[in-house]
Structure 1
């Protein structure tokens, strides 16, 4: 793989670098990781993308990672040695959308018995049915191949076009790109419970309406203020909530984290990703040390799961939650170093993470470190 980086996030430089890479015989497609801060508009970007003669996919993310630094503006172009096959799944907030039907047509085309492939999944991180899409991916393609990806979008939490497809820049969709590359994937988060399990008595997709029959924010506020010594006001919700996510209990696997973004007028809590009604949640808390330990665990799991002998020359594709940056602040550089362990590291800081490792159930995570070692 060949990597090019433009720290200015200029669309003209993007077009130039992309055309230079795509002109090379050993580059058969591009993965593009760009920043929401580039302020790219669909009407300007679409003609550029549509003119490329090889497949291009990717997204606009809150931040990107290059050379073990995070950037809120800039563009990464990853030249792929083999041609990616790309699906664009429509209607990621549509309650009536049938994702199984959209994906089934590819199940036979993509030989799921072939293990030397990795499925990269990018979604609009502010869509309402991401977990439903991930479940359909699991039922359609199984666990024979690794999945890695995450949510594109803006920290303004305003939904807008953020997925780069071969046809242009779009919103409220998912991209699935099949790369004929071996990989090892590791997942860990480092958040620990501060409360007992509580039943979600009413929810609507990504909104927790009530917990134990009380307004969700009322319950959350009591527990978090008691633990943190801070008080919620109109303007500081996310400043406090970034350190206190929800954890959904899952049988036989690590707790799945859900990041609360905001409250609604009825005292519900809007999260990144669905929280099923009837599930049990705990409030979690982390420390810089526990998050760094999780990044180390993710790397060890990825190293253990990659086929054959590893030689340290694998490319490290890091999908890390943007709220880990907001929590660790300058300490995020240490997390990148732990994840890289001397390898070339690139990636995106996302609104939610998607992964399995060829063995565990495919899941949509929040506040989680996902490392893919690509060979």
Structure 2
């Protein structure tokens, strides 16, 4: 895959790189991973997307990864050698949006293709029905093919256009791309339970209202105080909560991590992704060692099929809260996932993945690595 990195992050730099990459004979579509700090707006970017003679797809993320480093500003363009099938599902937070119906309609417009497929999915990471959408992906497409992707958006937690589509920037939507290429997916997180399991007794989508009939923020604060002595409040919530995610129990599978974003005066906690009422949750914690171990595990899973010395492109979907937790040590995590391979990708607001046979799920604070082609 041909790659072009524009460190400026400007719309002009993007337009020039787009023109250069689109002129290459073997490029059939262009994947774009852009940083939120670029400050792109639909009025500035949409003309470039609509004018391109090749389909352009991707997202605007808190940060991106390229050649062993993480960037807060810049744009990475990746030339795809095969033409993908592309669809957009809008109204990702709307209760009336029928995801399975929308996905079935989308699939019906795509040509039949017997080649191995990988589905690349980007969602607005601040939408409130992401898990319901991912569940509909499973019911529509099954587990015969691999899925990889994540949540676009901003660490300001203000929802704005963040999906890059051939028809322009979109918000509160999902981009679904069928790539005609095989893949192997690795998924790991490294967060460990430090509490007993509790029951979510009241929740609404991604807002946890009560746990064991107690205001969710109250029990969450008490557990953190018992573990670390820190007193969490609405003012310092995110700076402390980044080290203490919630884990949702699954039968015979690794915990799904949920990233708490904020609390309110009513004692409710807003997370990235839904937390179902009635599910069992535990408080999780980790350290740089356990997170590095998870990154190495994801690399082993994704590259287990490779012959010694073989090279492959690795698409990294890594949670932005791992960057916030690890700080400068994120470069060590990037070394663990690359191990000499070409790694590029995005730091996201939630991750989407399965391995072709395991659960398809929306994760938080997790490393997803896909070996493509």
Normalised by the length of structure 1, the TM-score is: 0.97
> 2:22 — aligned with what?
22
The separation in 1 between residues aligned to 2:302 and 2:267, in whole angstroms, is 40
Q: How does 1:172-183 map to 2 (within 5 A)?
A: 172-183=172-183
Q: Work out whether residues 57 and 165 of structure 2, in 8 Å CA contact, stay in contact via their aligned partners in 1.
A: yes
Q: How does 1:230-241 map to 2 (within 5 A)?
A: 230-241=230-241
> 2:166 — aligned with what?
166
The separation in 2 between residues aligned to 1:226 and 1:112, in whole angstroms, is 56
Measured against aligned partners, the alpha-carbon deviations of 1:330-375 in whole angstroms (never above 9, x if no partner) come to 1111111110110111000000000001010100000000000112
> 1:221 — aligned with what?
221
Instruction: Report the CA distance between 1:174 and its aligned residue.
Output: 0.3
The separation in 1 between residues aligned to 2:136 and 2:156, in whole angstroms, is 29
> 1:12 — aligned with what?
12
The separation in 2 between residues aligned to 1:227 and 1:72, in whole angstroms, is 32
The separation in 2 between residues aligned to 1:43 and 1:264, in whole angstroms, is 34
Number of positions where the alignment pairs a residue of Structure 1 with one of Structure 2: 373
SS at match of 1:325: helix
Instruction: Report the CA distance between 1:273 and its aligned residue.
Output: 0.1
The separation in 2 between residues aligned to 1:112 and 1:357, in whole angstroms, is 22
> 1:312 — aligned with what?
310
> 2:60 — aligned with what?
60
> 2:131 — aligned with what?
131
Instruction: Report the CA distance between 1:113 and its aligned residue.
Output: 8.4
1:347 maps onto 2:348 in alignment: no
Instruction: Report the CA distance between 1:252 and its aligned residue.
Output: 1.9
Instruction: Report the CA distance between 1:228 and its aligned residue.
Output: 1.3
Q: Work out whether residues 64 and 72 of structure 1, in 8 Å CA contact, stay in contact via their aligned partners in 2.
A: yes
The separation in 2 between residues aligned to 1:313 and 1:162, in whole angstroms, is 32
Measured against aligned partners, the alpha-carbon deviations of 1:19-46 in whole angstroms (never above 9, x if no partner) come to 1111111000001000000000111111
Q: How does 1:88-167 map to 2 (within 5 A)?
A: 88-107=88-107, 114=114, 116-167=116-167
Measured against aligned partners, the alpha-carbon deviations of 1:254-289 in whole angstroms (never above 9, x if no partner) come to 100000000123110000000000001000000100
The separation in 1 between residues aligned to 2:230 and 2:77, in whole angstroms, is 42
Q: Name stretches of at least 5 consecutive residues in structure 1 with no aligned partner.
A: none
Measured against aligned partners, the alpha-carbon deviations of 1:296-329 in whole angstroms (never above 9, x if no partner) come to 111111123x5x7575311011100000001111
> 1:193 — aligned with what?
193
Measured against aligned partners, the alpha-carbon deviations of 1:128-177 in whole angstroms (never above 9, x if no partner) come to 00001100100111111110000000000010111111110110000011
Q: Work out whether residues 234 and 263 of structure 2, in 8 Å CA contact, stay in contact via their aligned partners in 1.
A: no
